[in-house]
Homo-oligomer: A and B are copies of this chain.
Amino acid sequence: MTSLSHIILEPLVRKALEEDLGRAGDITSDSVISAEARAKVVMAARQEGIVAGLDAAELAFKLIDSGLAIKRLKAEGVEVKAGDEVMEVEGRARSILSAERVALNFVGRMSGIATLTNKMVKAVGNHKARVCSTRKTTPGLRAVEKYAVRVGGGMNHRLGLDDAILIKDNHIAIAGGVAIALRRAKESAGHMVKIEIEVDNLSQLKEVLEEGVDVVMLDNMSLEDMAAAVKMAAGRAIVEASGGVTLERISQIAATGVDMISTGALTHSAPNFDVGLDFKAAA
């Protein structure tokens, strides 16, 4: 089971709270609600999907007021339907309201990514292909978004520029060809680093397979070419499909026999997951 260390998460939640509190804090709650007022609220899903980001939400509440009592009503990563309650928060009313938006913004974004990923994974069905995200993430939130993809059942591709080699068309063009690019990469890469190369057509794939490589990325190929590529690779390299991946088309792509399907949409275009905070009682 995947996880996201609060060493990584806490500075991001803190920054989000600072951004929202600004230079004078929650002037609405400070003026309208008495310091002693207490409340009990629940965070509830307003749509179906996979819930993610509960640690972030809890941190938002706890960083504002360590005296808030939090109860998890759903576990991270489970499937929920509209109306399901996922977390209960009880304590000083001002504190709850001051942290509310940041908590919901994290859960909304992270659950949105997990939910879209999960739909993709389900659409792949029994095919062996696994779904993975790319580096097309929101600036500053890569660790959080990569984690949300994993919660949704997806895999991570590279985390950044430094943990694996991915030779793309521009690299090949500037290096002067597939063969020379691959040779340089192999010479330089450490033994813990995988090498992937992007190919646009089957003849490029043939050249690549002859040189040898860990992973090939089929860039924007037709379904027919993908199927042919899988056959040509014949297990000599992991085959990754990329480009034009939609919920509608992903099952067809998976049916070609590719090992991996990668798409930036998981992180850059996942719609927000609708979630809100419902007032239960003046506690």
Q: Which residues of A contact B (CB under 8 A)?
A: 1-5, 7-8, 12-33, 35, 37, 39, 41, 63-64, 93-94, 97-98, 101-102, 104-106, 108-109, 112, 130, 132, 135-143, 146-147, 155-171, 173-175, 181, 184-185, 187-194, 196, 215, 238, 240, 259-260, 264-265, 268-269, 271-272, 277, 279, 282
Supposing A1-B35, A162-B21 touch, asked if A269 and B268 sit within 8 A by C-beta, the answer is no
Q: Which residues of B contact A20 (CB under 8 A)?
A: 135, 142, 160-161
Kindly state the separation between the CA atoms of A141 and B185 in the bound complex, as whole angstroms.
Answer: 25
Work out how many copies of this chain go into the complex. Answer: 6
From A26, which residue of chain B is reached at the shortest CB distance?
B161
Kindly state the separation between the CA atoms of A77 and B113 in the bound complex, as whole angstroms.
Answer: 28
Kindly state the separation between the CA atoms of A192 and B237 in the bound complex, as whole angstroms.
Answer: 12
Q: Which residues of B contact A155 (CB under 8 A)?
A: 190-191
Supposing A170-B277, A174-B282 touch, asked if A24 and B143 sit within 8 A by C-beta, the answer is yes
Supposing A191-B259, A192-B164 touch, asked if A32 and B185 sit within 8 A by C-beta, the answer is yes
Excluding A2-B188, A19-B139, A28-B161, 19 further A-B contacts by CB distance (< 8 Å) are A19-B142, A20-B161, A21-B160, A22-B22, A22-B162, A23-B146, A24-B146, A24-B159, A24-B162, A27-B161, A28-B185, A31-B189, A39-B170, A97-B174, A98-B161, A159-B162, A164-B192, A192-B196, A269-B272
Minimum CB–CB distance for A147 against chain B, Å: 7
* Cβ 8 A contact of A105, one of B12, B105, B138: B138
Q: Which residues of B contact A157 (CB under 8 A)?
A: 190-192
